[in-house]
Amino acid sequence: MDFISHYECTLCGKKLAADLTSLTCPDCGLTGILDVKYDYEAMKKTVTRDYFRSNTDASMWRYAPLMSLKTTDFSRALRVGNTPHYRSHTLEKTLGSGPLYFKDEGANPTGSLKDRASAVGVFKAIEAEKKTIACASTGNAASSLAGNAARMGLDSVIFVPKRAPKGKLAQLQAYGAHLVRIEGDYKATFEMSRKAIESFGWYDRNAAINPHLVEGKKTVAYEIAEQMDFDVPEWVCVSVGDGCTIAGLYKGFLDFFSIGLTRKIPKLLGVQSEGCAPFHRAWKNKTALIETQENTIADSIAVGLPRNPVKGMEAVRKSGGAFITVSDQAILDSALLLGSKEGLFGEPAAAASLAGLVEAYRQNIITADARVTVIITGNGLKDPDSIRDKIPEPVGTYEESDVLRQYLRNHKEEKS
Ligand SMILES: *Cc1c(COP(=O)(O)O)cnc(C)c1O
Ligand SMILES: [Zn+2]
């Protein structure tokens, strides 16, 4: 909080004072998404490598002074962040790639990277003296909001589209959220939530609207930098829906670079599904974003009309990265690869980032020797049905050990 210099509208460029309470640009309205700007010169003086080395908080709150929060006591919060950054055991060899890492965001308290944003949202709601916080979500924004709100004693109201997977709905119910199911797609759900939030005066956790949430998401980049001893990778791969996650990644790497903690900003690979790729299309054709269908099994990135087009696009452009698309089949193949070769189970939108990397090697966008981090954005247990059709039936019952022996022999052959 101490380091905020001002807010800037991503649409009209207007600068707004640091004590602003509105979530969007007063001139542009809801599409006037704000960016939080920091005084890097001041930040540089206190936020050094030694500052982090002596920081004993093993959660995302170790970065709270670099965010737009007034709160300083996080002792009652869930432990968000500090997720593992694994060096690949097997895929590096299988793919013939350079040093390859997986950032396992599925290890967050509610099982996805969204916890980083929701946790911030909950504290901003408390700062604004709101008792209820609401959002529209395809799943993870909602389940993370419900969990983090429950922990801090807030009510949550969640607007979900018809297609939300069972695992995510179950989480919402377990966390005691008030569920409003909309008979429509994500867009319809979003519009409905906006109306309700306005008329009931709730706190708005919708990621694109709320500029503070990207500030939470950026901590994933800080962690990668710290986990690599400030020698960041050349490429970071992540799947893209609304564009907030990739925007957060860029912001985090930009912050660390701007205060001299790292020497470069990694190139960002934004991965979309072939059946829903508005960012990729706009990037390739150099046009504005055009609404597309939402035709993919990766529900978390099934966003036909992205709500954070400017920040999402700039993250890829300014980092010198690229957008890429992958098929649903490639996503499922990658989910199995990730599980069987690395012991990591990602939901389809999470496995998509690995599918994107494989495709980027194929297209020579990423060269084989590059150091790469792939972000596994959400846990596979959230959407187990997606992978069920891909795997053989469980083995059944055995009276004879011979049958089991034969099965295992066949299964091993099949896999090798
Ligand atoms: C939300 C989400 C994404 C994409 O983030 P956006 O901010 O919508 O671009 C990717 N993977 C998972 C698991 C998510 O929940
Ligand atoms: Zn504006």
- For ligand 1, whether the C-beta of 239 sits within 6 Å is yes
d(CA 190, CA 125): 19
29 pLDDT tier (thresholds 50, 70, 90): confident
- Other CB atoms within 10 A of residue 287 CB: 9
Q: What is the CA radius of gyration of the chain?
A: 21
Element (H, E) at 244: helix 244-258
**What atom of ligand 1 comes closest to residue 244's alpha carbon?**
7
Average pLDDT over residues 263-284: 97
Confidence of residue 393 (pLDDT cuts 50, 70, 90): low
- For residue range 54-65, list pLDDT tens digits in order: 999 999 999 999
Q: How far apart, in whole angstroms, are the C-alpha atoms of residue 37 and residue 22?
A: 15
Atom of ligand 1 nearest to the CA of 378: 13
Q: pLDDT digit string (tens) for 134-165?
A: 998 868 999 999 999 999 999 999 998 777 77
Predicted local distance difference test score (pLDDT) of residue 415? 66
**How large is the average pLDDT for residues 92-96?**
93
Q: Average model confidence (pLDDT) for the chain?
A: 92
Mean pLDDT of 80-90: 97
Q: Are 269 and 237 in contact (CB under 8 A)?
A: yes
Residue 143 Cβ < 6 Å to ligand 1:
no
How far, in Å, from the CA of 298 to the mean position of ligand 1? 10
Q: Is 118 in the pocket of ligand 1 (CB under 6 A)?
A: no
Q: Which of 104, 113, 209 to mutate to test the pocket of ligand 1 (most atoms within 8 A of CB)?
A: 113
Residue nearest to atom 1 of ligand 1 (CA): 300
- State pLDDT tens for residues 233-243: 999 999 999 99
Lowest mean pLDDT among 218-222, 261-265, 306-310: 306-310
Residue 199: partners with Cβ closer than 8 Å, 6 or more residues away: none
Q: What is the pLDDT of residues 340-356, one digit of tens each?
A: 999 999 999 999 999 99
The CA 16 to ligand 2 mean position distance, Å, reads 9
Residue 81 pLDDT: 98
* Closest ligand 1 atom, residue 346 Cα: 13
